[in-house]
Amino acid sequence: MGKPFQLKIFEKFLKEKGIAYKVDEPLAKHTTIRIGGPASFMVFPKKEDELLEIVKNATELDIPWYVVGGGSNLLCADEGYSGVVINLRNMKGIAERSFAPDATLFLEALSGTMVGEVISFARKKGYSGLEFLAGVPATVGGAVRMNAGAYGRSFSMLVRRVKLLKDGKIEDYEPKDSDWTYRSFSKEGIVVSATLELVKSNPEEIERKLKEIYFKRKASQPLAEKTFGSAFKNPPCCYAGKLIEDCGLKGFRVGGAKVSEKHANFIVNLGSATAKDVLALLREVQKRVWERFSIMLEPEVKFLGCSM
């Protein structure tokens, strides 16, 4: 990009509209693995119309843009990103859309709402369904885009409608089964909100499920470390973590990046890891698994400004 004139016009627009933004904002501050150089601009829309205008302006000015939620499945380049990173964390809120008191509750959550907040909201009302994602630092938008899942359940099972921003318009879309695959929602656009269907349950049962999931996660994943969740998708045959572990790679290091000893499909930033370290580690893991099992692991993590 590097077009100072366009960037100046873009900044003028942000100022005029009173949209919050930062210049040369370190992406490391906005990803759970705490890696990534500066984004030329990071903008923080709070409402749909701000988001629409940001995308419209950046597109017209030919400035590249990228959407970030919780940054919990993202590796950003050490060089950063020459463009506009649209951080949706301030676009949050939950509204009850309709419900049949004895059976279901429909909640519409804006994309930047943390999944954990939706779980708490539903729990207080006595509705269940999202417990499988307890402890996952995802936003609703990121969980839709990635079709986040665990323990045999996935976001797709709960999502009834998605508001999507595409081509300058917001569409209220009813997802089809074919839109969802393992760790992906294929319909293009920025997820503005999602309406989830939750089922009535008793509070003790919800509490029990939440505790069970939390302790299961804590026992098997390095939750207190800097990671981006699963590095690779599970291939059809088996778990990626098991394949990596069977190659003897737990604890394997490149620079400041290490394969977690707790869960081999998690890469840990020991404190000083660079994106280059992580990429070299991912490539080596992929190579060793291929050599031993003839299985090519596919990254689950998304890349911004870098690639494997």
- Positions annotated as catalytic residues are 183, 230, 300
Q: In this complex, which beta carbon is closest to ligand FAD, that of residue 72 or of residue 274?
A: 72
Give Cα separations from 274 to 6, 225, 303 (angstroms): 30, 15, 13
Instruction: Sketch the per residue contact string, 7 through 46, with ligand FAD: x for CB under 6 A, - otherwise.
Output: -------------------------x--------------
- Which residues neighbour 209 within 8 Å (Cβ) at sequence distance 6 or greater? 128, 131
Q: In this complex, which beta carbon is closest to ligand FAD, that of residue 61 or of residue 231?
A: 231
- Which residues neighbour 119 within 8 Å (Cβ) at sequence distance 6 or greater? 130, 131, 133, 134, 210
Which listed residue (38, 69, 83, 129) binds ligand FAD by CB under 6 A?
69
State whether residue 83 is helix, strand or coil: strand
Helix residue spans in the chain (DSSP H): 4-17, 48-60, 115-125, 140-145, 203-220, 240-246, 275-293
Q: Which amino acid is at 42?
A: M
Closest CB 72 distance from ligand FAD, rounded Å: 3
Instruction: Sketch the per residue contact string, 245 through 284, with ligand FAD: x for CB under 6 A, - otherwise.
Output: ----------------------------------------
Piece of 34-42, 202-210, 227-235, 284-292 that binds ligand FAD (CB under 6 A): 227-235
Piece of 49-57, 133-141, 202-210, 232-240 that binds ligand FAD (CB under 6 A): 133-141
Burial environment of residue 265 by CB neighbours within 10 A (0 to 12, 13 to 18, 19 or more)? buried
In this structure, the number of other CB atoms found within 10 A of the CB of residue 238 comes to 12
Q: Residue numbers of the site for ligand FAD (CB under 6 A)?
A: 32, 66-74, 88, 111, 136-139, 141-143, 145-146, 148-150, 190-191, 221, 223, 227-229, 302
